[in-house]
Amino acid sequence: MTERTRKVTVVGGGITGLSAAFYLQRQARERGIRLELTLIEAAHRLGGKIQTVRRDGFIVERGPDSFLARKAGMRDLVKGLGLENELVRSAAGQTYVLSGEELHPVPGGSILGVPRDFSPFLSSGLLSWSGKVRAAAELMLPKPAPEADESVGAFFRRRFGGELVDNLIEPLLAGIYAGDIDRLSLESTFPQFRRLEQEHRSLLYGIRKSSMMTGPQPLNPGEGIYQTFRGGLDTVVRALEEALVSQGAAILKGVRAERCETERETMNLTLNDGSVLQSDGIILAVPHFMAKKLFKPHGFLEELDDMPFATVATVSVAFREEDVDQHLEGTGFVVSRNTDTAVTACTWTHRKWPHSAPEGHTLFRAYVGRRGNEMIVDISDSEISKAVLEDLRKTMDIRGEPEFVIVSRFPNAMPQYPVGHKDRVAEAKAELQRKFPGVELAGSSYGGIGLPDCAEQGKTAAAALLERL
Ligand X SMILES: Cc1cc2nc3c(=O)[nH]c(=O)nc-3n(C[C@H](O)[C@H](O)[C@H](O)COP(=O)(O)OP(=O)(O)OC[C@H]3O[C@@H](n4cnc5c(N)ncnc54)[C@H](O)[C@@H]3O)c2cc1C
Using the rule CB under 6 A, give the single segment among 14-22, 92-100, 140-148, 376-384 that binds ligand X: 14-22
Q: How far is the CB of 449 from ligand X (least distance, A)?
A: 4
Least distance in angstroms from the C-beta of 137 to ligand X: 34
Q: Is 106 helix (H, G, I), strand (E, B) or coil?
A: coil
Residue 90 makes contact with ligand X by CB under 6 A: no
Integer Cα distance of 322 and 214 in angstroms:
37
| 161 forms part of the interface with ligand X (CB under 6 A) | no
Site mask for ligand X (CB under 6 A), range 310-349, x = bound:
--x-x-----------------------------------
Closest by Cα among 295, 297, 299, 268 to 281: 268
> Could you give the residue ranges of the DSSP H alpha helices within 82-190?
119-122, 129-136, 152-160, 162-164, 170-177, 186-189
List binders of ligand X among 226-285 (CB under 6 A).
Answer: 256-257, 285
What is the Cα–Cα distance from 40 to 365, expressed in whole angstroms?
Answer: 31
Q: Is 447 a residue that touches ligand X (CB under 6 A)? A: no
Cβ contacts of 128-134, under 8 Å, gap ≥ 24:
128/163, 130/163, 131/161, 131/163, 131/164, 131/167, 134/160, 134/161, 134/163, 134/164
Beta carbon nearer to ligand X, 40 or 318: 40
- Binding window for ligand X (CB under 6 A); candidates: 10-18, 27-35, 88-96, 240-248: 10-18
We find the least distance from the C-beta atom of residue 118 to ligand X, in angstroms, to be 29
Nearest alpha-carbon partner for 414 in 187, 175, 214: 175
Nearest-CA neighbor of 13 among 50, 64, 52, 65?
50
CB 287 within 8 A of CB 417: no
Q: Nearest distance from residue 234's CB to ligand X, in Å?
A: 11
Say whether residue 454 binds ligand X (CB under 6 A).
yes
> Does 20 interact with ligand X (rule: CB under 6 A)?
no
Nearer residue to ligand X within complex by CB, 41 or 197: 41
Contact 372, 356 (CB under 8 A): no
Binding window for ligand X (CB under 6 A); candidates: 22-30, 125-133, 191-199, 449-457: 449-457
Contact residue for ligand X among 6, 7, 49, 365 (CB under 6 A):
49
Among 23, 67, 121, 295, binds ligand X (CB under 6 A): 67
CA–CA distance, 49 with 13 (Å, rounded to integer): 10
* Contacts (CB under 6 A) with ligand X, residues 353-412: 410
The residue among 65 and 391 lying less far from ligand X, judged by its C-beta, is 65
Instruction: Candidates 7, 21, 48, 364: give the one binding ligand X (CB under 6 A).
Output: 48
Nearer to ligand X among residue 18 and residue 127 (C-beta) = 18
Least spacing, CB of residue 364 vs ligand X, in Å: 15
Q: Buried b / exposed e across 91-110, counting CB within 10 Å, b at 16+?
A: bbeebbbbbeeebbbbbeeb
Residue type, 269: L
121 near ligand X (CB under 6 A): no
Residues between 127 and 146 with contacts to ligand X, criterion CB under 6 A: none
Nearer to ligand X, 203 or 345 (CB): 345
Q: Total residues at the site for ligand X (CB under 6 A)?
A: 35
Nearest to 241 by CA among 45, 79, 65, 413: 45
H helical segments located in 45-151: 72-81, 119-122, 129-136
Distance CA 267, CA 273 (A): 18
Minimum distance from residue 75 beta carbon to ligand X (Å): 12
Question: Is 63 a binder of ligand X (CB under 6 A)?
Answer: yes
Are 368 and 344 a contacting pair, CB within 8 Å? yes
Report the alpha-carbon distance of residue 66 to residue 54 in Å, rounded: 16
Compute and round to an integer the Cα radius of gyration of the chain: 23
Contacting residue, 8, 10, 37, 40, with ligand X by CB under 6 A? 40
Q: Which of 7, 172, 450, 459 binds ligand X (CB under 6 A)?
A: 450
Which H or E element spans position 137? none
In the complex, minimum distance from the CB of residue 331 to ligand X, in angstroms, rounded to a whole number: 13
Residues binding ligand X (CB under 6 A): 11-17, 40-43, 48-50, 63-67, 256-257, 285-286, 290, 312, 314, 410, 413-414, 443-444, 449-451, 454
